[in-house]
Amino acid sequence: MARPSIVWFRDDLRLADNPALRAAIDRGEPIIALYVLDEESPGIRPLGGAARWWLHHSLASLGERLRERGATLVLRRGPAERVVRELVTDASAGAVFWNRRYGGPEREVDAALKAGLREEGVEVASFAGSLLFEPWTVKTGAGTHFSVFTPFWRACLALPSPRAPLPEPREVAGARRGAASDSLDDWGLLPRHPDWAGGLRETWEPGEPAARRRLRAFLDDDLATYDRARDEPAAGATSLLSPRLRWGEVSPYTVWHETVEAGHGGRFLSELGWREFAWHTLFHFPELATKNLRPEFDAFPWPRLKPTHLAAWQRGRTGVPLVDAGMRELWTTGYMHNRVRMVAASFLVKNLLIDWRRGEEWFWDTLVDADEANNPFNWQWVAGSGADAAPYFRIFNPELQAKKFDADGHYQREWAPESLGDDGPEPLVDLGETRKTALAAYDHVKRAARS
């Protein structure tokens, strides 16, 4: 009697270059494709609203593509270790395959599941499918992890080149005896009352086919000018691949090799390197979303929170045109240009003096590309408390940033037109005075560290 293989999909919602799927196909037994919505295992962070919207549509796309090739996507909800083991028992599965995850709670789940299934005689194997350079393979000369990007990336590039991507399977032989599955609609991933996702629907098309089209369009149309135009929010020169990579609709190996083949990709590949560095950091510091990476920042004298200031920032009502434009783009589309993200984050932390964790939580809920490494890594970078962080005295001036990167005001007019001009609203705070206050607070951190 055939003992089917379970392929456990996670943040790798694709068929092409999926090592776990390829291993199951090579095993030669019927395949059960599984996705588990785990919001119950200890330490697992529940998805934000925009991410839940993306997940719904990406799973729908994956399920359709599997059906076209002969398999069914089984959806189950609950603690992943329990759910997978129940399915192994119910289906008399002989093997379980997955692509590795790198967050602390996820690694604990995977390790426990792997050990338990192997004790029961079930074949288990995991693969590198989400990162080009797994965290434990990149070490300093002293054998420790990196805390600065440039030597980290230099060490990565000294390693063997990333493997070639695997081809997309034409067929996926599904198990004849279908496993019970939840209904995707019953998971309630989509907003209903109110339905705030109209802008997301107008902006994005989740799923592997759209991800591949987006990669091709970027390489054909924008890669050659990426280095020059990537910081201009109105230029449309960025790849828009971040949610595709976050959900694994396209693999970093595919992006790497197609970029190398296209040429002119050095700067863009280094941006992939920052993604790798964020995961490298999270792997070695699992509490990245809640604790300062640099402990001296625990002494930062955050003032009492002003809820009206936080709300004004969240809704793009600060009276600072570039900040407001970015926050409204985020609220509408689930995305914000990276340069504007840095400016908006700096304004929250260093002009409003609001703890970076408040901003991280808001981005986690509203970004379609929010993941557990890059989101907190980038917030700590801006705050100065993270790995290879911006110097404490680097406080983005949103007015100067707008003049430099949105000189004609096109981006600001698109998203916050009333903020421009002499009759625009007054800024929530004085940029010069709040800069002085922030520098004094950072001086307090330095004095505390010395003492």
Could you tell me the two tokens for 407? 């000189």
Give the C-alpha separation, 136 to 132, whole Å.
12
Q: Is the peptide bond before 398 cis (omega within 30 degrees of 0)?
A: no
Catalytic residue chosen out of the listed positions 53, 54, 98, 379: 379
355: three-class secondary structure by DSSP: coil
Asked whether the beta carbons of 249 and 207 are under 8 A apart, the reply is yes
Catalytic residue chosen out of the listed positions 39, 64, 68, 302: 302
Q: Is 271 an annotated catalytic residue?
A: yes
Q: Is 356 an annotated catalytic residue?
A: yes
Taking alpha carbons only, the member of 404, 410, 396 closest to residue 235 is 410
Query: What b/e string do you get for 273-283 counting C-beta neighbours within 10 Å, with b at 16 or more?
Result: bbbbbbbbbbb
Q: Is 379 an annotated catalytic residue?
A: yes
Cα-based angle 393, 232, 403 (whole degrees, multiple of 5): 60
Q: Is 338 an annotated catalytic residue?
A: yes
Catalytic residue chosen out of the listed positions 271, 361, 399, 414: 271
**Which residues make Cβ contacts (< 8 Å) with residue 238, sequence separation at least 6?**
222, 226, 230, 337, 338
Catalytic residue chosen out of the listed positions 247, 279, 356, 415: 356
Catalytic residue chosen out of the listed positions 338, 361, 399, 414: 338
Give the C-alpha separation, 411 to 129, whole Å.
36
Catalytic residue chosen out of the listed positions 29, 168, 274, 296: 274
Instruction: Provide the annotated active-site residues.
Output: 271, 274, 302, 338, 356, 379
